[in-house]
Amino acid sequence: MRLVALAFALLSLAPLAAQGPATLAVSEIRAGMKGYGRTVFQGGKIDRFEFEVLGVQKNAAPGRSRIMVRASGGPLAETGILAGMSGSPCYIDGKLVGALSTGILFEKEAIGGITPIAEMLDQLRDIPETAPSRTPLILPKLEPPKVLKAALAGEMLDFRTLMGEADPQALPMALVGSSLGAEARRLWSGLPITFAAAPVLSGGREEASPIEPGGMAAITLMQGDLDLAAAGTITFISGKRVLLFGHQLFNLGPVDLPLWSATVASSVASYQSSFKMAMPVAPIGALRLDRSSGVAGLLGAEARMVPLRIGLNLGGKRTLNFRFELMDHPVATPALVATAVAQTLDAHTRGLGLQSLSMQGNIKLAGHPAILIENVIADLNPSRMSQYIGAMLQAIMLNPFEKPVFEGISLTIKAEERLDLSGIAGVRLLKARAKRGEVLPVLVTLQNIQGVRETATFNIQVPSSAAKGKATLMVGDGFSLMAADPDERMIDVANLGDVVRLLNGALRNNHAYALLVQAQPGAGLRGSRIEGIPPTVASLVSGDGASSDNKLQRRIVGRAVLPLDREVRGLSQLDVEIE
């Protein structure tokens, strides 16, 4: 890990409000009052801007207020309020009022809002000394089956599903660093953020902002061969505790992120939302809290990051190796891993034309077997590859049982300039009836993009435990079959170990499968299926009063697999009579 904690004199941990300047309560604020703020417009030098109070917006959120001001000075006449000014401490008569935290999209004047300092102190005073060790239960509506079924089908859940709709009036936070392609930006859809590519300063002349109120700071979400950081302004320092932004990063609660000093390369004027082009300079601590009224961290602390390695093989001709360190959090880490994959492919593989991508690798968690990664994508758009690995990470990190400890993620991607793709063109049974205990032959016809067909045979063992009557034969690729949900009892997990076993046993999209599926009555109690209950009894039993638990439930009674060296697509179903 590259973070090196700087030496800081550790002052006594007195309550935050007991140190620093005197404060001015919202109840004392009146329209027409004038004050000043501190922020960085260029380099590392802290500048002063002026403001006049327009009024106080009561109940901007339940129990929250916002002080509306018109600001002036520096470049503000041309830019309006800049993204990156968030956290700028604002004073009236030498007393701290709060942090400049909001602007107005498409504004013609520098009008913005100040988060009262009392609200920041209220939410951020209890900064944890250590990083969170348990999974934050912030997603109660996303039960494990929904997350796991999406992962097994290779589909990420988007941020709107995870966190709800973003505030359309919010001033977008500028994530600054490496330039991101369209696919990587789409992964973050639903969050009020913008992406800005900042130039990399060289020659050791970076002017780090002072670590004091008004100084520039950056929170790095990703570092290494791809940099992504959110920059803002320091509002308040008490001992080794520091408050910033005056608004949320993502409102994730307890977090663990590297906190850096920063410099401003330029202030960029925009008709939509102007921003500071800022970048990290040197590590100064770790972020520990992310709340609606701001973020807070500890100077001198270190953050634990998730290591990611990607090896990209370009048609067997050469291999490029990349290393990243990523934010460790259930919501953000999957999107960051997907971003690293998408951006690596975007930078080094073709964007148009025939292309096949194969991924192999593993995800290593402390105390668990490695999760093996295997996937093949034959497509004109490589986005499904990044979605696949992001979905796997969501299944791991959104588990409600324990916080996974990552030892490392290692991926090898091979890019070939051809389309390795076959579709399921037909399925045929040699007989429509099968006896329990015997083998059922299944013929499947595969066709590639050139129209060449080949026939393969599955031999499915019909178990003696199968029920007499109708069954369904499902033949298809792993992702299509998982989307069809052939076994409604499959997603049954009680701990992280179950999640690991389920992912390692997942159906792959470079295999063709034949599944024999039957439906049978079921009964549930407190959300769990009860096996072996006679249908007459099951009809009288419900799960917590819900009759939906007593419906027919499908289960896989037999299976066969045909491994292939290419992607398979398609799904066919046939009826079979079990005797």
| Mean pLDDT of the chain, nearest integer | 81
Interacting residues of 202 by C-beta distance below 8 A, sequence separation 6+: none
DSSP-derived secondary structure for 361-374: EEEEETTSPPEEEE
Would you give the DSSP letter of residue 187?
T
Q: For residues 67 and 62, what is the distance between their CA atoms, to the nearest angstrom? A: 15
pLDDT at 176: 64
Residue 34: its pLDDT value, please? Answer: 97
User: Where are the extended beta strands (E) located within 269-305?
Assistant: 275-291, 294-299
pLDDT digits (tens, 9 = 90+) for 471-504: 999 999 888 888 887 775 667 788 899 999 989 9
Q: What is the pLDDT of residue 178?
A: 67
Domain 306-416 CATH (choose: 3.40.50, 3.30.70, 3.10.20, 3.40.1350): 3.10.20
pTM of the model: 0.78
DSSP SS3 for 549? helix
CA distances from 217 to 100, 251, 452 (A): 15, 18, 59
| pLDDT tens digits, 291-341 | 888 999 999 999 999 999 999 999 878 899 999 999 998 888 999 999 999
Please tell me the predicted confidence (pLDDT) of residue 198. 53
The torsion of the CA quartet 5, 9, 13, 17, rounded to 10 degrees, works out to -100
Instruction: Tell me the C-alpha distance between 500 and 506, whole Å.
Output: 10
**How many H-runs (helices) and E-runs (strands) does the chain carry?**
10, 30
- Domain positions in the chain are 1-303, 306-416, 421-578
8-state DSSP, 219: E
Which residues of the chain have a pLDDT value below 50? 1-18, 136-141, 169, 199-204, 523-550
The three-class DSSP label of residue 502 is: helix
Helix (H) or strand (E) holding 42: strand 34-42
Q: φ, ψ for residue 553 (rounded to 5)? A: -120, 135
Give which of 420, 445, 405, 381 is closest to 509, Cα–Cα. Answer: 420
